[in-house]
């Protein structure tokens, strides 16, 4: 059996013709744990708790954040925006990360990062984050920042392994959306 890893993928800046594949990418996930959020007098506390049966989360097309990545050539003309893609050995788009840089606070935001289920656990997320960090350094960013739902424990664990730490909470971001009841956790790390 041949093992495929991130070295077997082509990483590049997205092209307009990548848009349909980015829109079609399955960003769903399944998890056996979630992070319960308790708002406290001095902030918030997180506790990882099991869920039984495992929770499967899918994202409706209209709820994805690929719109920032879908602007085609106009998005790539913006010097503070990039979308990076990973193309598999079969020529199919396997993952992408859309990022934006805000000069006023020197923050690079990970707007969206998705890895197709068949391509997970091969280092693609970490490789895309490396491309994002390179862009962050190029732009002069002081830190990298992202938002993740409290129920996406697999992503939270991956981000922590990459060096991200919790820095904030929004208990209302997902209200009146299909994700109502979930909590937005913010994570950041100094620009490497």
Give the per-residue pLDDT at 77.
79
Residue 75 pLDDT more than 60?
no
Q: pLDDT averaged over the chain?
A: 91
Residue 1 pLDDT more than 50?
no
With a pLDDT cut of 70, the percent of the chain lying above it is: 90
Residue 149 pLDDT more than 90?
yes
Residue 79 pLDDT more than 90?
yes
Q: What residues contact residue 47 under an 8 Å CB cut-off, 6+ apart? A: 35, 36, 38
- For residues 114 and 128, give the distance between their C-alpha atoms in angstroms, rounded to a whole number: 10
pLDDT band at 66 (very low <50, low <70, confident <90, very high): very low
CB 28 within 8 A of CB 59: yes
């Amino acid at each position: 059996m041949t093992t495929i890893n991130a070295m077997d993928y082509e990483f590049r800046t997205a092209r307009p013709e990548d848009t349909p594949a980015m829109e079609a990418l399955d960003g769903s996930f399944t998890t056996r744990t979630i992070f319960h959020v308790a708002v406290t007098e001095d902030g918030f506390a997180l506790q990882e708790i099991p869920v039984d049966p495992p929770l499967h989360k899918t994202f409706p097309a209209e709820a994805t954040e690929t719109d920032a990545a879908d602007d085609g050539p106009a998005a790539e003309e913006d010097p503070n925006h990039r979308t990076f893609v990973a193309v598999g050995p079969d020529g199919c788009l396997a993952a992408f990360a859309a990022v934006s840089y805000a000069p006023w606070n020197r923050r690079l935001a990970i707007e969206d990062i998705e890895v197709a289920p068949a391509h997970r656990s091969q280092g693609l997320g970490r490789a895309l984050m490396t491309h994002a960090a390179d862009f962050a350094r190029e732009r002069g960013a002081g830190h990298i920042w992202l938002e993740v739902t409290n129920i996406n424990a697999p992503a939270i664990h991956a981000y922590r392994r990459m060096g991200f730490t919790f820095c904030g909470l929004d208990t209302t971001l997902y209200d009146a959306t299909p994700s109502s009841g979930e909590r937005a956790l913010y994570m950041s790390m100094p620009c490497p």
